[in-house]
Amino acid sequence: MLISTQNVNEIGVMPTVSFTSALQRFLPAPSAQVAGVTIGEALAAVFASHPRLRSYVLDDQGALRRHVAVYVNGRPIGDRIRLTDPLGPDDEVYVFQALSGG
């Protein structure tokens, strides 16, 4: 559930969500300050403005895709399925393609 702009002002929750430049080659993915107290709420706020990003980041069940990594303040999120990791007002969320290989 997203919080209203009025509630954001009251509690000061406006994390910033940024996307990898590799993704930005294919889709508009500007950094944005969004309302949300969890990863899921923050991403939903971004997807409301940029709906095509959703299918790149999330699978059909709403979990992170295998090839996507999300970090908050330099640390990987713990809940890749329900996206319930909490966010603070000054948190920096980074969404990027995970690399694999050998």
Answer whether residue 51 shows pLDDT above 80: yes
Question: What is the token pair recorded at 65?
Answer: 């895709």
What is the structure's pLDDT at 2?
Answer: 40
Given CATH 3.10.20.30, say whether it is the number of domain 5-97. Answer: yes
Confidence of residue 71 (pLDDT cuts 50, 70, 90): very high
Whether the CB-CB separation of 92 and 15 falls below 8 Å is answered with yes
Q: What mean pLDDT is predicted for residues 55-79?
A: 96
Please, which residues bridge with residue 86 across strands?
A: 38
What is the distance between the alpha carbons of residues 36 and 52, in angstroms, rounded to a whole number?
20
Specify the 3-state DSSP secondary structure of 75. Answer: strand
pTM (2 d.p.): 0.83
Confidence of residue 28 (pLDDT cuts 50, 70, 90): confident
Backbone angles phi, psi at 72, to 5 degrees: -120, 120
Cα separation, 15 vs 30, in Å, equals 14
Mean pLDDT calculated for residue range 86-93: 95
